């Protein structure tokens, strides 16, 4: 078993004594070195989860550890880029990076931070307050990368970047993860950009973990079936639609399928959209360490 980058056990968080639960009963484990996408609808709890991992919020119940310890103790070993990318507006980019270097003595990678800024054609003397949203994101990512963290926590990092910048920074992110074994955990609503980049998925809905595990295993545990509207027992149906007598469904097979079904493996987008449209579908958590998988077709828990 590889090391663990993040582990939640029955994690729950409510805002206010009688407030709604933003997260409830969340249990998952993320191996070190993985690149994990956190997806889910607006208000699902993605930012709340990342803020707990960054040590900015305390659980109401349960636990969340990062890099094998508490977020407070791991503080120097991870970097967190919040959704609103807070930076000091009065500083220039160069001063911002210098601050990054002073706050991270012994681990600051000046070259990597400066390269990310230069790739965006940004003049280091520009004041942060005059930058566009996407340019601020680039500086925030430069600060995070420069820290040379073991774990990068990114809350919708690509949301305000143009397609070219998004592609280039995503590439930089992947190269970083591959070269240094950095674990990356990022929330995103842009599913298409996650498919090639991520190897783990955490789908959160209404504060609960709905899908968790290695992407390959989660995809392989599902099948898109098309055929005459017949029974799908004993398989688990995540979502089904009928047009005339034709039925299309995303299922989790519980054994071999009848020959009359046409089957394909879903794309990540199909998997995520089907679960978003069917919030009542049973939870599926795969560890990737089940040796007899996929013969057992995964274990629904
Ligand atoms: N400081 C807070 N006080 C009260 N409720 C909060 C607070 N922060 C978040 N919440 C609530 O917790 C729930 C989860 O919010 P969160 O920001 O984690 O969702 P999200 O999945 O990141 O959403 P989005 O995709 O819109 O960014 C929401 O119902 C939200 O209203």
Are residues 75 and 178 located together in one domain of the fold?
yes
The pLDDT tens digits for 164-220 are 888 888 888 888 788 889 999 999 998 888 888 899 999 999 999 999 999 999 999
Instruction: Decide if pLDDT at 301 tops 80.
Output: no
Residue 154 lies in a domain: yes
Provide long-range contacts, Cβ within 8 A and 24+ apart, for 242-250. 248/224, 249/224, 249/225, 250/222, 250/223, 250/224, 250/225, 250/274
Is 167 a member of any domain? yes
pLDDT at position 249 is: 94
The alpha carbon of 252 and the centre of ligand 1 are apart by a number of angstroms equal to: 30
C-alpha to C-alpha distance for 221 and 301, rounded to whole angstroms: 13
- Residue closest by Cα to atom 8 of ligand 1: 48
Q: Is there a single domain that holds both residue 202 and residue 102?
A: yes
Residue 50 CA: nearest ligand 1 atom is 18
On average, the pLDDT of the chain sits at 90
What percentage of the chain exceeds 90 in pLDDT? 71
| 178 compared with 54, residue with greater pLDDT | 54
Confidence of residue 288 (pLDDT cuts 50, 70, 90): low
248 shares a domain with 127: no
Higher-confidence residue: 185 or 255?
Answer: 185
256 and 181, same structural domain?
no
pLDDT (tens digit per residue) in 94-129: 999 999 999 999 899 999 999 999 999 999 999 999
Assigned domain for 288 exists: no
Determine which residue's CA is closest to atom 25 belonging to ligand 1. 42
Q: Is residue 295 part of a domain?
A: no
Q: Is the CB of 47 inside a 6 Å radius of any atom of ligand 1?
A: yes
ipTM of the complex: 0.98
Strands 21-31 and 151-155, by their bridges, are unpaired
Asked if residue 220 and residue 87 are part of one domain, the reply reads: no
Centre of ligand 1 to C-alpha 65, Å, is 21
In a domain, 290, yes or no: no
The verdict on 205 and 220 lying in the same domain is no
Span from the CA of 54 to the centroid of ligand 1 (angstroms): 16
Q: Whose CA is nearest to atom 29 of ligand 1?
A: 43
Q: Is residue 291 one of the residues assigned to a domain?
A: no
Q: What pLDDT does 97 receive?
A: 97
Residues 112 and 220 in one domain: no
Q: Is residue 43 part of a domain?
A: yes
- CATH no. for residue 105? 3.40.50.300
pTM for the complete prediction? 0.92
DSSP per residue, the chain: ---EEEEEEEEEEESSTTS-EEEEEEEEEEETT-EEEEE-STTSSHHHHHHHHTTSS--SEEEEEETTB-TTTTGGGEEEE-TT----TTSBHHHHHHHHHHHSTTT--HHHHHHHHHHTT--TTSBGGGS-HHHHHHHHHHHHHHT--SEEEEESTTTTS-HHHHHHHHHHHHHHHHHH--EEEEE-S-GGGTTTT-SEEEEEETTEEEEEEEHHHHHHT-EEEEEES---TTSEEEEEEEETTEEEEEEE-SSPPPTTSEEEPPPHHHHHHHHHH-TTSPPEE--S--TTTTTT---B-
Q: Output the CA torsion sign for 268, 269, 270, 275.
A: positive
Domain end residue (candidates: 173, 188, 214) = 214
Domain of 242, in residue numbers: 215-281
236 CB near ligand 1 (under 6 Å): no
User: Ligand 1: does its nearest atom lie under 6 Å from the Cβ of 48?
Assistant: yes
Residue 253 has pLDDT above 70, yes or no: yes
Same domain, 136 and 210: yes
Does residue 268 register a pLDDT over 60? yes
Domain total for the chain? 2
Q: How far apart are CA 69 and CA 203, in angstroms?
A: 24
Residues 232 and 197 placed together within one structural domain of the fold = no
Q: What is the arithmetic mean of pLDDT over 16-28?
A: 92
Domain-terminating residue out of 172, 195, 214: 214
Atom of ligand 1 nearest to the CA of 44: 21
201 and 229 belong to one structural domain: no
Q: Are residues 178 and 196 in the same domain?
A: yes
Same domain, yes or no, for 153 and 244?
no
From 40, 44, 156, give the residue whose CB has the most ligand 1 atoms within 8 Å, as the site to mutate: 44
In a domain, 271, yes or no: yes
* Ligand 1: nearest atom to the Cα of 189: 25
Tell me which of 214, 247, 271 is where a domain ends. 214
């Amino acid at each position: 078993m590889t090391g663990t980058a993040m582990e939640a056990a029955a994690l729950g968080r409510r805002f206010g004594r009688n407030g709604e639960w933003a997260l409830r009963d969340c249990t998952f484990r993320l191996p070190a070195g993985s690149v994990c996408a956190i997806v889910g609808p607006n208000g699902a709890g993605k930012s709340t989860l990342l803020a707990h991992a960054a040590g900015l919020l305390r659980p109401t119940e349960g636990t969340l550890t990062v890099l094998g310890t508490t977020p407070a103790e791991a503080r120097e070993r991870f970097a967190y880029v919040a959704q609103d990318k807070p930076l000091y507006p009065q500083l220039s980019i160069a001063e911002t990076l210098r601050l990054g270097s002073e706050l991270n003595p012994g681990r600051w990678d000046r070259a990597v931070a400066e390269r990310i800024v230069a790739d965006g054609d940004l003049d280091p003397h520009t004041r942060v307050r005059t930058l566009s949203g996407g340019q601020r994101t680039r500086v925030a990512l430069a600060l995070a990368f420069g820290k040379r963290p073991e774990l990068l926590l990114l809350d919708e990092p690509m949301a305000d970047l143009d397609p070219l910048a998004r592609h280039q920074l995503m590439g930089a992110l992947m190269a970083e993860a591959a070269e240094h074994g950095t674990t990356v955990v990022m929330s995103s609503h842009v599913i298409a950009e996650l498919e090639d980049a991520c190897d783990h998925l955490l789908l959160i809905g209404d504060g609960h973990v709905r899908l968790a595990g290695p992407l390959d295993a989660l995809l392989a545990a599902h099948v898109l079936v098309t055929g005459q509207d017949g029974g799908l027992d004993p398989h688990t149906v995540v979502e089904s639609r009928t047009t005339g007598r034709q039925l299309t469904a995303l299922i989790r097979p519980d054994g071999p399928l009848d020959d009359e079904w046409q089957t394909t493996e879903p794309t990540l987008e199909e998997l995520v959209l089907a679960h978003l449209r069917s919030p009542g579908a049973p939870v599926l958590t795969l560890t990737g360490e089940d040796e007899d998988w996929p013969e057992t077709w995964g274990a629904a828990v």
